[in-house]
């Protein structure tokens, strides 16, 4: 197994007003690129578009066994989606900005059932101390 060295590093300034992308020796390039929040957001969006294009002809991987970090504090919305007659669920992701997905009508009932079961499992009030925010 070959382990490759990192090719770049990103550091956030102490005042959190900018980040610096540093090209490391393994990249074969040299330099630093200072980035604002808006520029970081554009870079993330552009990288996401590139990833989507590269993933386009591949099957969507299963969620079983997938690793992810849940978001506990966000703003979200649910709205109708006319093209599929489904529902859009969108939220503010702290790392990626606003993201969303469409649930087709056939999946909406599954989600409602699952959430109803989950509500039946809740043992504390919604504002109980110690719950993540």
pLDDT of residue 127: 53
pLDDT of residue 123: 77
- Please enumerate in sequence order all residues whose Cβ is within 8 A of that of 81, keeping only pairs 6 or more positions apart, or say none: 87, 88, 102
Overall size of the chain counted in residues = 133
pLDDT of residue 78: 96
Q: Which residue has the tokens 């966000």?
A: 74
What does pTM read for this prediction?
Answer: 0.71
Average predicted confidence (pLDDT) for the chain: 90
Go through 70-81 and write b for each residue having 16 or more CB atoms within 10 A of its CB, e for each that does not: eeeeeeeeeeeb
Strand order through the sheet with 86-93: 76-81, 86-93, 97-103
pLDDT of residue 16: 96
Burial of 41 per CB tally in 10 Å (0-12, 13-18, 19+): middle
pLDDT of residue 10: 94
Q: Are 75 and 92 in contact (CB under 8 A)?
A: yes
* Residue 15 structure tokens: 């005042």
Low-confidence stretches of the chain (pLDDT < 70) are 1-4, 125-133
pLDDT of residue 122: 85
Give dist(CA 86, CA 71) in Å, integer. 23
pLDDT of residue 125: 64
């Amino acid at each position: 197994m070959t382990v490759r060295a990192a090719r770049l590093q990103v550091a956030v300034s102490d005042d959190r007003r900018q980040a610096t992308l540093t090209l490391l020796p393994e990249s074969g390039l040299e330099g630093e690129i200072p980035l604002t929040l808006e520029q970081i957001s554009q870079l993330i969006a552009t990288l996401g578009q590139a990833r989507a294009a590269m993933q386009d002809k591949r099957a969507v991987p299963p969620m079983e066994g997938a690793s992810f970090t849940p978001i506990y504090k966000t703003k979200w919305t649910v709205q109708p989606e006319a093209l599929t007659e489904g529902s859009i669920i969108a939220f503010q992701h702290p790392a990626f900005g606003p993201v969303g997905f469409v649930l087709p009508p056939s999946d909406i009932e599954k989600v409602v059932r699952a959430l109803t079961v989950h509500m039946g499992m809740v043992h504390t009030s919604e504002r109980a101390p110690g719950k993540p925010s």
